[in-house]
């Protein structure tokens, strides 16, 4: 589904990623693991078009997306749930959900479908999104992105700082995304979540992928997490 070839990227003059190669097939969850600051978020940002690509290619279902803007990438099937600043905090929950509906010209009925799936968002529909709890914020961010029916989800540390019950809910959500046919590229530090959902694991260190595991291997992962 998504192919990343020889990608080098960064922010302005600062290069963060060196020669990244990876592929995320449909109905698979690929995990990226590494310490803070090794460039995991930059990788997702670059794929979504928020960081500056230096060289290398990005392909989504066989078509190059390297020249597309962030919004165009979102329209062509990249669904990114960033770790921070993932919603519009001053808008209400409902307005947050209306943004993709209006931007993509979807039917308004989609809104009730979302509310059917996320009852908690319906309860809080007129509340300002900035006042939601961490878990609810994540749900809202997921719901927004799901409205765009992406081919691949890029998800950055969705369980960071959440309560255990919310962690379970989010990993269930990731599994659902996979079952519904999407590919998932997940950045995660939580070992339980990794073990539960990952089909393949890339271990990153200082801007490069150093090791790829096709099976959960706690010893190796812990080494790269540096706990």
Binding site for another protein (CB under 8 A): 48-50, 69-72, 74-75, 79-80, 82, 85-91, 95-96, 98-100, 102-104, 144-145, 147-148
Q: Which is nearer to another protein, 33 or 56 (CB)?
A: 56
d(CA 185, CA 179): 14
Q: Which is nearer to another protein, 84 or 165 (CB)?
A: 84
Q: Which is nearer to another protein, 33 or 78 (CB)?
A: 78
For residue 71, the minimal CB distance to another protein (Å) is 4
For residue 131, the minimal CB distance to another protein (Å) is 14
Q: Which is nearer to another protein, 102 or 180 (CB)?
A: 102
CA angle 44, 48, 50 (to 5 degrees): 90
d(CA 53, CA 67): 10
Name the nearest CA neighbour of 155 among 16, 1, 30, 11.
Answer: 30
Structure tokens at 76: 């062509």
For residue 217, the minimal CB distance to another protein (Å) is 32
For residue 85, the minimal CB distance to another protein (Å) is 6
Q: Which is nearer to another protein, 91 or 225 (CB)?
A: 91
For residue 45, the minimal CB distance to another protein (Å) is 9
For residue 127, the minimal CB distance to another protein (Å) is 15
186 strand-pairing partners: 31, 155
d(CA 66, CA 94): 32
- Full DSSP string of 81-124: E-SSS-S-TTSBHHHHHHHHHHHHT--THHHHHHHHH-HHHHHT
Q: Which is nearer to another protein, 23 or 99 (CB)?
A: 99
d(CA 91, CA 87): 9
């Amino acid at each position: 589904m998504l192919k990343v070839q020889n990608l080098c990227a960064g922010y302005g003059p600062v290069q963060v990623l060196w020669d990244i190669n990876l592929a995320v097939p449909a109905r698979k969850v690929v995990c990226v693991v590494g310490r803070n600051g090794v460039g995991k978020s930059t990788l997702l940002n670059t794929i979504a078009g928020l960081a500056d690509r230096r060289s290398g290619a990005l392909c989504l279902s066989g078509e190059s997306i390297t020249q597309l803007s962030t919004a165009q990438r979102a329209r062509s099937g990249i669904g990114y749930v960033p770790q921070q600043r993932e919603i519009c905090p001053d808008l209400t929950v409902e307005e947050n959900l209306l943004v993709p509906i209006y931007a993509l010209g979807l039917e308004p009925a989609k809104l009730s479908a979302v509310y059917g799936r996320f009852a908690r968002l319906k309860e809080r529909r007129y509340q300002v999104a900035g006042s939601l709890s961490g878990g609810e914020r994540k749900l809202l961010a997921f719901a927004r992105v799901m409205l765009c029916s992406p081919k691949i989800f890029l998800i950055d540390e969705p369980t960071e700082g959440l309560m255990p019950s919310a962690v379970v809910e989010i990993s269930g959500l990731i599994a659902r995304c996979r079952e519904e046919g999407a590919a998932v590229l997940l950045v995660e530090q939580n070992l339980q979540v990794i073990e539960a959902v990952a089909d393949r694991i890339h271990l990153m260190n200082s801007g490069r992928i150093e090791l790829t595991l096709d099976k959960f291997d706690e010893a190796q992962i812990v080494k790269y997490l540096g706990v």
